[in-house]
Amino acid sequence: MHNNIAPHNKAPKALSDKETNSLPWHFLSVQATETMAANAKTHLGLIHFLLFFLSILMIPSLSLSDSDPTVYEILSQFGLPTGLLPDSVVNYTFSSSDGRFVVYLANPCYVQFDYLVYYDKTITGKLSYGSITGLKGIQVQRFFLWLDVDEIRVDLPPSDSIYFQVGIINKKLDLGQFKTVHSCRDKVTGTCVKRFFELPTPVKEIEMLLTE
Rounded Cα distance, 180 and 51, in Å: 44
What was the pLDDT predicted at 177?
97
Phi and psi (nearest 5°) for 189? -85, 170
The answer to the question of residue 98 being in a domain is yes
What was the pLDDT predicted at 194?
45
Instruction: Please name the helix (run of DSSP H) or strand (run of DSSP E) that holds residue 103, with its range, or none.
Output: strand 100-105
Rounded Cα distance, 125 and 92, in Å: 12
The answer to the question of residue 13 being in a domain is no
**Residue 54's domain spans which residues?**
24-65
What was the pLDDT predicted at 114?
93
Q: 58 and 83, same structural domain? A: no
Domain count, the chain: 2
End-to-end CA distance of the chain, in Å? 129
Q: 91 and 44, same structural domain? A: no
What was the pLDDT predicted at 59?
37
pLDDT category of residue 156 using cuts at 50, 70 and 90: very high
Percent of the chain whose predicted confidence (pLDDT) is above 70: 57
Rounded Cα distance, 135 and 127, in Å: 9
CA atoms within 13 A on the CB side of 194: 3
Q: Mean of the pLDDT values across residues 168-177?
A: 96
**Per residue in 107-155, pLDDT tens?**
999 999 999 999 999 999 999 999 999 999 999 998 889 999 999 999 9
**Per residue in 45-92, pLDDT tens?**
666 555 654 544 443 333 335 578 999 999 999 999 999 999 999 999
Q: 149 and 99, same structural domain? A: yes
Q: Mean of the pLDDT values across residues 26-45?
A: 58
Rounded Cα distance, 101 and 125, in Å: 6
CA-to-CA dists, residue 100 to 39, 128, 137, 184, angstroms:
59, 9, 14, 23
Q: 46 and 147, same structural domain? A: no
Q: Mean of the pLDDT values across residues 148-172?
A: 96
Q: 119 and 154, same structural domain? A: yes
Confidence (pTM): 0.61
CA atoms within 13 A on the CB side of 162: 21
Q: 143 and 42, same structural domain? A: no
